[in-house]
Amino acid sequence: MRRKLCVCASVAIAIAVGCSDGSDSAPRSEARPQTSTPTEATTPADPEPVAANANESHQELVARGKRAYLSNCIACHSADPNKAGALGPDIADASLELLEARVLRGEYPAGYTPKRDTRAMIPLAYLERDIDALYAYLQRELER
């Protein structure tokens, strides 16, 4: 059993560094077609903010929020945002201001009284583009 775990870990590490066969050989470089113009390659484009995505319907926004919630939040909060989780409280009624403060900065808005007196939640700044979607999903769940 121990050998099997070591082999799996070796393969996972090899894949992560680019060796396709799990060997210790150096990663192979593969030619990739260039899909950007030279100016795009030298100047990285800023991602468009979520609010600027006029093509996304409210249903799509809620669906994206649900995916973000299920992928990131249910480890501490309940799969049902109306119920408390093992570590985190129910959050279906969270305001956009609270979501931005807690998720992006790991703090509470001024004057807010936390449901649980803990500081266990770490900032999840990579969810910045999904805050509006999370809020839309939580509001839909609050109405259920």
Smallest Cα–Cα separation from 112: which of 103, 123, 101? Answer: 101
Whether the predicted pLDDT of 105 surpasses 70: yes
Smallest Cα–Cα separation from 136: which of 94, 73, 80, 82? Answer: 94
pLDDT class of 27 with cuts at 50, 70, 90? very low
Percentage of the chain beyond pLDDT 90 is: 57
pLDDT at 53: 65
Enter the tokens of residue 32.
Answer: 């990739």
Percentage of the chain beyond pLDDT 70 is: 62
Mean pLDDT of 86-105: 96
Task: Calculate ∠ Cα 85-88-94, nearest 5°.
Answer: 105
Whether the predicted pLDDT of 121 surpasses 80: yes
Enter the tokens of residue 77.
Answer: 């909060």
Whether the predicted pLDDT of 3 surpasses 90: no
The total of other beta-carbon atoms located within 10 Å of residue 35's CB is: 7
User: In this predicted model, what pLDDT tens digit does every residue of 35-74 receive, in sequence order?
Assistant: 444 443 433 343 344 444 678 999 999 999 999 999 999 9
Query: What is residue 107's DSSP assignment?
Result: -
pLDDT at 8: 39
Mean pLDDT of 70-91: 96
Domains of the chain as residue ranges with CATH = 53-143 (1.10.760)
Q: Which has the higher per-residue pLDDT, 119 or 52?
A: 119
Smallest Cα–Cα separation from 82: which of 131, 122, 115, 117? Answer: 115
pLDDT at 117: 81
